[in-house]
């Protein structure tokens, strides 16, 4: 019995969402202002349809709870935080990743392990230490292994 009500409700939601595709720009804007208290962030038809479809479902089935919303907002603040010269994203490849570099005609292979980087039978805490061992000079390990665009 309750399942039949759910099916009717689901069908009504699907019909509303499908109907968005055939609405004019004016109709989409009118509908937008009925369900949102702010203008669309982007004046794009597809953006509005996607946001309106989500809103239809949110109004029908309920939105996110306060705890989840707080976690989302915290994550947004974290990734939106301005980056200054003292902050950087640490290079953290997955354990088991192999990093290969040819240097002066010799191939050098480094494997990421749980406590650092394995190279030539030893574990190092940084790629810079390995680059130093290979070249005999100080190097930024990320740059030496050409990983600066992948971090």
Q: Provide the edge-to-edge strand list for the sheet that holds 122-124.
A: 98-103, 106-113, 116-119, 122-124
Long-range contacts of 139-146 (CB under 8 A, 24+ apart): 142/91, 144/101, 145/99, 145/101, 145/110, 146/101
For a pLDDT cut of 90, what percent of the chain falls above it?
58
Higher pLDDT, 32 or 81: 32
Is the pLDDT reported for residue 151 higher than 50?
Answer: no
Sign of CA dihedral 113, 116, 117, 123: negative
What does the pLDDT average to over 58-63? Answer: 89
Residue 83 pLDDT: 62
pLDDT given at position 42: 83
Residue 123 tokens, joined: 């574990």
3-state SS, 65-100, equals: CHHHHHHHHHHHHHHHCCCCCCCCCCCCCCCCCEEE
Per-residue pLDDT at 106 exceeds 70: yes
The band of 131, judged by pLDDT with boundaries at 50, 70 and 90, is very high
pTM given for the model:
0.46
**Under 8 Å between Cβ of 128 and 141:** yes
**109: exposed, middle or buried (Cβ count in 10 Å: 0-12, 13-18, 19+):** exposed
d(CA 27, CA 18): 14
Q: Bridge partners of 113?
A: 116
**Residue 34 CA to its chain's centroid (Å):** 31
Residue the block writes with tokens 């306060």: 66
CA distances from 1 to 4, 5, 7 (A): 5, 7, 10
pLDDT single digits (tens) 68-103:
888 888 888 888 776 654 555 567 788 899 999 999
Task: Please give the mean pLDDT across all residues of the chain.
Answer: 87
């Amino acid at each position: 019995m309750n399942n039949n009500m759910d099916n009717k409700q689901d069908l009504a939601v699907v019909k509303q969402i499908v109907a968005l595709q055939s609405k004019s720009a004016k109709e989409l804007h009118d509908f937008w202002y009925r369900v949102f208290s702010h203008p669309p962030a982007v004046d794009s038809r597809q953006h509005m349809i996607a946001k309106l479809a989500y809103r239809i479902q949110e109004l029908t089935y309920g939105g996110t709870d306060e705890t989840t919303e707080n976690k989302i907002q915290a994550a947004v603040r974290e990734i939106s935080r301005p980056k200054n010269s003292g902050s950087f994203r640490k290079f953290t490849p997955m354990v088991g990743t192999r990093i290969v570099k040819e240097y002066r005609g010799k191939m050098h292979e480094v494997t990421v392990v749980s406590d650092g980087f394995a190279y030539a039978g030893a574990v190092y805490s940084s790629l810079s230490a390995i680059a130093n061992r290979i070249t005999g000079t100080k190097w930024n390990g990320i740059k030496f292994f050409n990983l600066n665009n992948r971090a």
